[in-house]
Amino acid sequence: MFTGIIEELGKIASLEKRADGAKIKIAAKTVCEGTNEGDSIAVNGVCLTALEITPNSFTADVSGETLDKSTLGNLKTGSKVNLERAVTPATRLGGHIVQGHVDARGKFLGAQQEGDFWTVRIGFPREIGQYLVYKGSVSVEGISLTIAELKDDHFEIAVIPKTWELTNLSSLKTGDAVNLEADVIAKYVERILLYGKTAEKSEGVTMEKLKKMGFV
């Protein structure tokens, strides 16, 4: 689990494509401190297992499915990536609960500077629209952000100077794909509300149901 508070902006040192995925090496320092092989690190919002850890880098295996469903498949040597180590029981939850499981790929529609701050516009696919709310949390490229304006197909977020400086948002170009993860609480609430209705529909007509309705 993560908080969406980026610790470091790393860089892809190498990328080895394979038949069933890829192996990436990421140049980084902060997230390597205290990290052991097998620990989780979020890379642009995708939870990966850290391997071959040195003081200045770590590697990770990426499955073909992850490459297809996230923006990791677009990475190249030299690409900047947002990095965050998994939380511990003593970690301050400065952002929101982020699982590192990408729900969809959105689109960077542009950014406008307003003084020291930036207003960033992100397009999103219809399938995650029900999980997005005005003033609610959303993870963009692993960054915990608050929705400042919400439309049917895009939302806007206000980015403070520190976030703009320490993440890859400043290097995105119009049309670039971005990883989106909706707030997990919204998904649990939806499941709770729909579970009974879904079960009733799947049962069809049964003798027990007819008795409850007074037909038997």
pLDDT of residue 162: 93
pLDDT of residue 198: 54
Residue 130 φ/ψ, nearest 5 degrees: -70, -15
Provide the strand spans (E) within 28-153: 40-43, 46-49, 51-54, 57-63, 80-85, 104-114, 117-123, 137-140, 143-150
What 3-state DSSP class applies to 184?
helix
Token pair for 179:
């990883």
Each residue's pLDDT expressed in tens, for the chain with a length of 216 residues: 999 999 999 999 999 998 889 999 999 999 999 999 999 999 999 999 999 999 999 999 999 999 999 999 999 999 999 999 999 887 777 889 899 999 999 999 999 999 999 999 999 999 999 999 999 999 999 999 999 999 999 999 999 999 999 999 999 999 999 999 999 998 888 888 888 665 554 455 555 655 665 655
Q: How far apart are CA 145 and CA 15, in angstroms?
A: 29
What 3-state DSSP class applies to 176?
coil
Q: How far apart are CA 174 and CA 110, in angstroms?
A: 5
Do the beta carbons of residue 65 and residue 199 sit within 8 Å?
Answer: no
Structural domains of the chain in order of their starting residue, each with its CATH number:
8-85 (2.40.30.20), 104-191 (2.40.30.20), 192-216 (no CATH)
pTM for the predicted model, two decimal places: 0.86
